[in-house]
Amino acid sequence: MVQILSLIHSKNGSLSSMPYLPAHVTNLKAKYRRESKLADIEATIAYFDEKAKEDQDFFYRIRLDNEDRVRNMYWVDGAARRAYKHFRDCISFDATYLTNMYKMPCAPFIGINNHNQSLRFGCGLVRNEDTDGYVWLFKTFLECMGGLAPMNIITDQDFSMRAGIEEVFPLAVHRHCRWHIIKKAEETLGPFFADRPDLHKAFELCVDHNLMVEEFERSWMAMIETYQGQDHETLASLWDKRMYWVSAYFMQCFFPFLQTTQHSEGFNAVLKRYVSLGNSLLQFTKQYTALQQNILGSELQQEANTALKQPKLLTYLPMERQMSKIYTNTIFNKSVVLQSYLHKS
């Protein structure tokens, strides 16, 4: 800053004789930043308005604060809105990846289609990851989707996110990402497992191989008693949260091949190849649109494969033949692999 002032006033004597202070330059820079961000918001709104002219089902909302800064934002194209009506069974929601120069986390709504592909049911940006921000985003999503709430939703363990889901989607079955829970728990359970060599195996058997709630709870209690885990804080916490992550509690719910937020994390990985942290809102929304077009093209390719290619049958059983006609090729192949695994077990 001193160098800037020195350059401007190099012909006017020393810094002490200048009519400007460093604070003046700071204020000027802040003014330019505000004007730049306001121009970015205006350009983004203009871009959305153009998309709405091209696509009558395009939807967007932007929430500003008292200083005209973006507080929350959500947009979705018409194709995604139409797909949601058919594939709202299960939604993965995650807000961990920063995607723009405002350091606002990207919060996409990720669904799964009948080819086990990830679908994007719109994208949100949240400046403050608090309950108010998530409530606004979820209510906006609900408005956009004609009041149709997701039936099942999987997220990380964020408390504000959970509070927002309970308020806006009270009938949705909410599940936490199992992988994150186990990973975090094992960081503290490691020494406890090390002192009890058979406990880790008992833990996995209890969590992974009990199909009924009663079976799981009996196995857990027996494990705690056998390995003296009554006073272990992490095990107690896992028990208290069991209805959010243990598979036995979700057997009657539709989470297709899904126990984690892997679809959201997969989208974040793809997103990193398209956008950078320095992107403006306008740049980000345009790049998101390009990514969405690629995803729709991949879905059309899978539809064509199912229509034109007959999946390979492993048996002559009538049920397998019937499944090959009802399921898409991807789901049929997954079901055949699963059947083969269960048969061997």
Determine whether domain 56-177+260-301 maps to CATH 2.60.40: no
Domain boundaries, the chain: 56-177+260-301, 180-250, 312-344
Taking alpha carbons only, the member of 331, 310, 330 closest to residue 321 is 310
pLDDT of residue 18: 52
Q: What is the distance, to the nearest Å, from the Cα of residue 335 to the centroid of all Cα atoms in its chain?
A: 26
Question: Residue 313 has what DSSP assignment?
Answer: P
User: Quick one: pLDDT band at residue 101, thresholds 50, 70, 90?
Assistant: low
CA 41 – CA 1 distance, rounded (Å): 28
Q: State how far the Cα of 124 lies from the Cα of 271, in Å rounded to an integer.
A: 14
pLDDT band at 253 (very low <50, low <70, confident <90, very high): confident
Angle at 307 between CA 306 and CA 312, to 5 degrees: 50
Position 30 scores a pLDDT of 45
- Determine the Cα–Cα distance for residues 87 and 59; give it in Å rounded to an integer: 18
Does 2 have pLDDT greater than 60?
A: no
Residues 186-211 have a mean pLDDT of 87
pLDDT value for 281 = 86
Higher pLDDT, 271 or 181: 181
Per the model's pLDDT, the better-predicted residue between 73 and 16 turns out to be 73
Mean pLDDT for the stretch of residues 18-38: 51
CA distances from 73 to 60, 100, 315, 327 (A): 8, 13, 51, 37
Helix (H), strand (E) at residue 160: helix 159-168
Contacts of 98 (CB under 8 A, 6+ apart): 104, 105, 106, 277
**Res 277 pLDDT > 70:** no
Sign of torsion over alpha carbons 295, 297, 301, 304: positive
Report d(CA 118, CA 121) in Å as an integer: 10
130 vs 266, higher pLDDT: 130
Residues 6+ away with beta carbon under 8 Å from 219: 205, 206, 210
**Percent of the chain with pLDDT strictly greater than 70:** 78
Listing DSSP states for 318-332 in one string gives HHHHHHHHHS-HHHH
- Please give the mean pLDDT across all residues of the chain: 81
Q: What CA–CA distance (Å, rounded) separates 307 from 325? A: 10
Cross-strand partners of 109: 93
Assigned token pair, 65? 């604060």
Q: Residue 283: phi, psi to the nearest 5?
A: -60, -45
Instruction: Determine if residue 69 is left, alpha or beta; phi over 0 gives left, psi from -120 to 50 gives alpha, anything else beta.
Output: beta
Query: Residue 156: left (phi > 0), alpha (psi -120 to 50), or beta?
Result: beta
Q: What is the mean pLDDT of residues 151-160?
A: 89
Provide the CB-side half-sphere exposure for 305 (13 A, CA): 17
Name residues whose C-beta falls within 8 Å of residue 340's C-beta, 6 or more positions apart in sequence: 314
Amino acid at 197: P
Token duo for residue 175: 């599940």
